[in-house]
Structure 1
Amino acid sequence: MPEGIIVKALSGYYYVQDENGGEPVQCRGRGIFKKRGESPLVGDRVAYSETDNGEGTVEAIHSRSSQLVRPPVANADLAVLVFSVVRPELNLGLLDKFLVHIEHVGLDALIVFTKLDRIPDGEEGERILRDVAEAEALYSSIGYQVLKTSAHRGEGLDELRAALAGHINVLAGQSGVGKSSLVNALVPGLRLETNEISDKLGRGKHTTRHVELILLAGGGYMADTPGFSQLDFNELGIDEIGTCFREFAERSSSCKFRGCTHTHEPQCAVLEAKEQGLIAVSRYDNYVAFMTEWKENKRRY
């Protein structure tokens, strides 16, 4: 029985890419999945049978290494967080919020700064370059790989292809940062719909409406997804937010109190590290903001 990976789910059909390549086979799922409360997901590795009309049936779903609810993707292992340096400007608060959610679901993260070709000349451009250099140094020191790219000029694309190879990658970032342009540059001949930033709204429109895995030349897959648009902390406990900051997690075992919130407790290793300059003020301030948001959400619900 042939095996493959589901690269698209649409209108009740599952499109299975054979492990040997070629055109995906349009399949239906077995009725037994519904009875069991199971549902095949994009990214699932499956066994399927072929029918006489050239279509197929998903017969078995292999065990998953990971499962995301939003976006619904199985077996993803790397989140590619795309942030532009201009229009919209680099937003470290939003980047940290994405990183908390990525750490919570157990994926590794790759940070990609885009639109380097849009940096203006003069003082504004110099300020942007300084901000980008500082952000690159900060997140690299925490343990994240950071790449700088320009889809239009082809800058950084070879490094990005190498980082994506062998992974099921989930593409994430706010609208208008150039995600689709980046994927179009990575996959020659692909033409994902792109959308420039609206001058009226100051942000882009969502152009991706379903989850689909795109085969990359380096051997990995990229999930161009409409997900990760609603980032809230309802599914996290207050003690989990701190564990999703890598530099906090590695120090929390040295705090005096178990369950330390790292906000006011005496002999808190995280607060001490912040005072010593070992934890960035921006990261700590964002952590406190996220804790406050979590408390407000709990009061609301």
Structure 2
Amino acid sequence: MQEKNPPPMIDAALARSLVADQFPHWAGLPLELGPRSGWDNRTFRLGRHMLVRMPSGAAYAQQVKKEHRWLPQLAPLLPLAIPRPLAMGSPGRAYPWHWSVYGWIEGDTAGRGSIADMDEFAASLARFLLALRRIDASGGPAPGLHSFHRGGRLVVYDRETRQAIAALGRHIDNDAATRIWQAGLASAWNAEPVWVHGDISVGNLLVRQGQLHAVIDFGQMTTGDPACDAVIAWTLFEGSSRKVFQEELALDAATWLRARAWALWKAMIVAAGFVKTNAEEWSKPWKVIRELLAAQ
């Protein structure tokens, strides 16, 4: 059955038209699909120093105003660059949602080939997350649909996780997977809410000269439990770099149990085919699952 309201075709022509309509002073700048165009948003390079970021669905569109409100307040308090909103676009040209113009941040997407020293990279990322957690979170957005429940309780994904465990059947140790999941469910963040990025992944980390330079894509930003921000311990780090990240991040044991459960949930729903993703770190979900289960 054809969708009643199919998503719009988001291409350079649409982005160019919206810029010309709403920000005519930028209409003469070249605009092309950017190298960091992701799953949740389509990103276009606008001139040399800006980008246009357009949500690809209604679930992501509600993140736009949140980013414009909070990112300017967080930026001066963080040790690395984060996106700088320049203008908010309105619906138009059959595109139904708000969209953004940001300053361009130079850097390459993080990966083993672009990182000079993985241990130092792990320490730098942990220091960034510690700084984020220390910022006063009063009045910040509570977890919900806008953050895909990042920062909230794992129980939201309980049914889906158990379905994934069942679907993967003989391919995994079901008992071990269930123990990891239940251990995460059994605890909660009982301290005051803290700022949570919500999607700490290699695609959202930019590297310059081998060093971590910027953290981008705060669409899932929220306040609450920081456990989900530690999932990268298994999707990127291993061996000494994982140990450095865990030690520097200074989370309690219960929060690490929830972080492990978050990682298992995402890896399993990708492996089971419940969701599609173009995120590099989830291209090999079985590797993540094996490492998580081996730690039992």
Return the index of the structure with the highest Cα Rg.
1
Which structure is richer in relative contact order (CA contacts within 8 A, separation 6 or more)?
2
Between Structure 1 and Structure 2, the one with more helix by share is 2
Q: TM-score range by the shorter chain?
A: under 0.3
TM-score, structure 1 as length reference: 0.25
